[in-house]
Amino acid sequence: MDVFQDAINAAKSVMAQHIEALNNRDEHALLNTLHFPHHRLSGTRLKTWPAGAEYFADFKARAGSDWGYSEAHVLAVLGASTDKVHLDVEIRRFRPDGTLIKSFKSLWVFVQVDGRWGAAFRSSFAGD
């Protein structure tokens, strides 16, 4: 077994919790999957949320009014240590009827801070 398997499992679990909270429109649970400040690099534009106040509203604006739900598929673990994991993830956004809006790859960086795992940074090819 990989010496960092516990960290990898924790990161994958937080990724799953993030998508579940997003799809349930549970802002409190969603924010608990992230560390703040939280950073997102899309294209060449870096967005930083100092705290969670605007995070979910920003997501809904990016996803669009026809967004119904999302899926995340972990493609690979790119690196891991006891307190940090890089995941190569494919994100898929769907309309409520199940038709695909878009699919894109993202690098998610999960870290353990004060005993809590959360995403601190991601770089995506979402184009928004």
- Over range 14-25, report the average pLDDT: 97
Whole-number Å distance between alpha carbons of 22 and 29? 8
Which is nearest to 119 in space by CA: 92, 84, 89?
Answer: 84
- Over range 99-106, report the average pLDDT: 96
- Over range 19-30, report the average pLDDT: 97
Whole-number Å distance between alpha carbons of 5 and 24? 28
User: What is the pairing mode between strands 100-113 and 34-42?
Assistant: unpaired
- Residue 128's pLDDT is what? 63
